[in-house]
Amino acid sequence: MSRTTMIRPVNPQPARSTMPWGRLRVILLVALLVGLGFPASLLAAPPSAPANFAVTIEGGFVVFSWEASPEADVASYQLNFSGAASGLLDVGKRTSFSYVPPPTLGGGFRFSIAAVTSAGEASPPSNEVSFSFPADLPRFVGAEACARCHEQKVNDWRVSGHPYKLMPAREARNRPIPLPAGFTWDDISYVIGGYKWKARFMGLDGFIITRTGADRDVPGKNQYNLENNTWSDYEPGVQKPYDCGSCHTTGFSEILNQDGRPGIKGTWVSGGITCENCHGAGSRHAASGDPTAITKDSSATLCGRCHTRGAADSIPASGGFIRHQEQNNEFQASPHANAGLQCVTCHDPHKKAVFSITRTCESCHSQQAQDFTGSAMQRLGVRCQNCHMPKAMKSAIKVKDYVGDVQSHLVRINPEVTAQMFTADGLQANNAITLEFACLSCHADRDKEWAALNVQGIHALGKESTAMAR
């Protein structure tokens, strides 16, 4: 999987129009609107030049940043570049972007940035930066290059979910993933997911497929659910660009379109979460084995880059479940974050979840573990996680009442019968598991009142043998 995109002009028109008619049209439009009572100051002036434009290097990325022009009608920014190649590149409405340059880009580039209004009027250029792409910029070399010295890590990672997050069709077609009705593998560019919960599909144009059936005109039935082999509706009928690359790919840049497919926002070096997503571009380290030439970040912030939905201090919910992709939102609301644990305190980040647990609950909560050992539920195979980490989150399907398909990391159980899992509008979760979720997944024939009556001394429930031994 090598990148095929390069910095190149996507907008062949020069920044400032050389056609007097274009400018005249704008003046006439302004005159008309002023005549209609619009304040002239809002319409006439071109935006001011973006300030403090800078080009810096961060790992394998070249980072362009600037300050927003204050005018309200700025619609996007345009990078002006000259050197071995030259042109203009619309980079959208943002104030920074990172870019993984192809190895061939060399020295002698000059960059500046301009703000452009929705009417196409450009500001004067920012300060100009002279820049050479360094020959020794760390490169993304792929997991194969790590396997030579870290074979076990690569083998563990290969059977975990991270590498499979975004698969080109030529790889995905070898996995047991069915296609939506009306499509063959030749119609698919990428499969999104399809490892643990669900798969979605991208057409050759890079848009997510949202219409299916023989004539590909029926909205929905476009998400395949692995757990029960059903199809459900994801954004049925919507023209849905793939703007998900920041969490699903490695060496991601916000600009341009991968493989030139218009529906894909951004470009990447490889699909999926590879070693170098978490450890940074690894060419220098892989060449030398020097541990100081690679990064290792053991904080929950690293995982939270992707396992967070929206702001980490809220827990978005919908349809009676916490939404998926929120492990870090939940973790931050749990007693474990307060106590200074990180994700990797419990998880080996290279392993599939079920094989990844390096610290068990019992290893830290010895009192509860001792109480629980020999209890009725423990003897029948109930585990700490069944009550403390129930599937209160939903990714693909609701299994039944109070059972989604992703385990929660809130951990604390509120034993009150009046406790509410969600805010009144149902759009946020509170910060503890309630008894419906902790107990009724197994005790489906009971209710919350029953659970609340039985919660006292729950860990040691039915522990006759020890009681007699005392």
Nearer to ligand HEC, 15 or 341 (CB): 341
CB neighbour class for 368 (10 Å; exposed up to 12, middle 13-18, buried from 19):
middle
Nearer to ligand HEC, 132 or 363 (CB): 363
Regarding 399 and contact with ligand HEC (CB under 6 A), the answer is no
Nearer to ligand HEC, 126 or 375 (CB): 375
Regarding 388 and contact with ligand HEC (CB under 6 A), the answer is yes
Total binding residues toward ligand HEC, as defined by CB under 6 A:
111
Enter the tokens of residue 328: 């870090």
Regarding 286 and contact with ligand HEC (CB under 6 A), the answer is yes
Which residues ranging from 84 to 143 are in contact with ligand HEC (CB under 6 A)?
Answer: 141, 143
**Ordered DSSP codes for 101-112:** --TT--S-EEEE
Question: Closest distance between ligand HEC and the C-beta of residue 225, in Å?
Answer: 9
Regarding 385 and contact with ligand HEC (CB under 6 A), the answer is yes
Enter the tokens of residue 6: 């390069």
Nearer to ligand HEC, 81 or 372 (CB): 372
Regarding 149 and contact with ligand HEC (CB under 6 A), the answer is yes
Question: Closest distance between ligand HEC and the C-beta of residue 368, in Å?
Answer: 4
Regarding 194 and contact with ligand HEC (CB under 6 A), the answer is yes
x/- string (CB under 6 A) for ligand HEC, residues 294-323?
A: x-xxx-x-xxxxxx----------------
Helix residue ranges per DSSP H, 262-392: 275-279, 283-288, 300-304, 327-333, 335-338, 343-346, 361-364, 366-372, 376-379, 384-388
What are all long-range contacts of 416-419, with beta carbons under 8 Å and residues at least 24 apart?
416/452, 417/448, 417/449, 417/452
Helix (H) or strand (E) holding 43: helix 40-43
Question: Closest distance between ligand HEC and the C-beta of residue 287, in Å?
Answer: 7
Regarding 196 and contact with ligand HEC (CB under 6 A), the answer is yes
Q: CB-based contacts of 360: which residues, under 8 Å, 6+ apart? A: none
Residue choice 114, 389, 410, 429 for contact with ligand HEC (CB under 6 A) = 389
Cα(167)–Cα(43) distance, integer angstroms? 47
- CA 403, 409, 415, 420: dihedral to nearest 10 degrees? -70
Regarding 162 and contact with ligand HEC (CB under 6 A), the answer is yes
Question: Closest distance between ligand HEC and the C-beta of residue 20, in Å?
Answer: 43
Question: Closest distance between ligand HEC and the C-beta of residue 133, in Å?
Answer: 21
Question: Closest distance between ligand HEC and the C-beta of residue 167, in Å?
Answer: 9
Handedness of CA 157, 345, 278, 353 (dihedral sign): positive
Nearer to ligand HEC, 87 or 168 (CB): 168
Enter the tokens of residue 149: 């010295």
Nearer to ligand HEC, 161 or 213 (CB): 161
Bridge partners, 33 (sequence order): none
Nearer to ligand HEC, 125 or 390 (CB): 390
Regarding 346 and contact with ligand HEC (CB under 6 A), the answer is yes
**313 touches 320 (CB < 8 A):** no
Residue choice 79, 322, 403, 411 for contact with ligand HEC (CB under 6 A) = 411
Nearer to ligand HEC, 127 or 385 (CB): 385
Regarding 406 and contact with ligand HEC (CB under 6 A), the answer is yes
x/- string (CB under 6 A) for ligand HEC, residues 353-372?
A: xx-xx-x-xxxxx--xx--x
Nearer to ligand HEC, 71 or 171 (CB): 171
Enter the tokens of residue 450: 């029953």
Cα(88)–Cα(255) distance, integer angstroms? 13
The residue range among 18-26, 40-48, 181-189, 343-351 that interacts with ligand HEC, by the rule CB under 6 A, is 343-351
**239 touches 203 (CB < 8 A):** no
Helix residue ranges per DSSP H, 148-282: 151-158, 169-172, 245-248, 275-279
The edge-to-edge listing of strands for the beta sheet with 96-99 is 51-58, 61-67, 96-99
Cα(50)–Cα(70) distance, integer angstroms? 9
Regarding 398 and contact with ligand HEC (CB under 6 A), the answer is no
Nearer to ligand HEC, 78 or 198 (CB): 198
First to last CA, the chain: 65
Q: CB-based contacts of 179: which residues, under 8 Å, 6+ apart? A: 185, 188, 201
Regarding 61 and contact with ligand HEC (CB under 6 A), the answer is no
Q: Compute the C-alpha angle 294/300/301, nearest 5°.
A: 70
Question: Closest distance between ligand HEC and the C-beta of residue 55, in Å?
Answer: 24
Which residues ranging from 413 to 442 are in contact with ligand HEC (CB under 6 A)?
Answer: 413, 415, 435, 438-439, 441-442
The residue range among 61-69, 91-99, 257-265, 334-342 that interacts with ligand HEC, by the rule CB under 6 A, is 334-342
**Ordered DSSP codes for 247-266:** HHEES-BSSSBGGG-TTB-B
Question: Closest distance between ligand HEC and the C-beta of residue 237, in Å?
Answer: 15
